[in-house]
């Protein structure tokens, strides 16, 4: 039983050793146990006088929480930077001019802003694509 196996796990992130399985998520434990089956040179001997001890490496719950918090903070920082870039670009260009354009083929070759509203607020264009040929400008 993987929840009662005490002291056979170690965290590859923080380096703590001899941890019980309860310090790891079920998914991490299952992944680590599955990786043991794929070891090419594992000891396959069996018998009453042969003692086997397995030490399993995975990422503990604490390290996973810290990693997820860092990823969320980084995503929030990038989102704020993109929003500032959009606001700076909008301020430099002035109020956007609404123009109706019909493009016949895909891909259009333009990147829309994440700002809400109807239609596209063009931030970037790809040269040679239908939008650029139609005269669309950011």
* DSSP designation for 12: T
The candidate with the shortest Cα–Cα distance to 53, out of 11, 6, 12, 120, is 6
b/e map of 59-68 (b: 16 or more CB within 10 Å)? Answer: bbeebbeeee
CA distance 60 to 54: 17
Kindly report, residue by residue over 28-52, the tens digit of the pLDDT: 888 888 887 777 776 667 777 777 6
Residue 67 pLDDT exceeds 80:
yes
pLDDT in tens, 90-129: 777 766 666 677 777 766 676 666 666 666 667 777 777 7
Beta bridge partners, 58, equal 11
């Amino acid at each position: 039983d993987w929840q009662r196996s005490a002291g056979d796990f170690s965290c590859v992130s923080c380096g703590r050793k001899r941890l019980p399985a309860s310090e790891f998520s079920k998914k991490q434990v299952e992944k680590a146990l599955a990786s043991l089956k794929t070891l090419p040179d594992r000891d396959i001997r069996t018998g009453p006088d042969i003692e086997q001890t397995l030490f399993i490496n995975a990422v503990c719950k604490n390290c996973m929480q810290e990693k997820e918090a860092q990823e969320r903070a980084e995503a929030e920082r990038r989102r704020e930077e993109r929003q500032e870039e959009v606001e700076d670009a909008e301020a430099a260009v002035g109020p956007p001019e609404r123009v109706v354009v019909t493009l016949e083929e895909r891909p259009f070759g333009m990147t829309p802003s994440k700002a809400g509203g109807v239609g596209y607020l063009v931030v970037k264009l790809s040269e040679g694509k239908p939008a650029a040929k139609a005269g669309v400008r950011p």
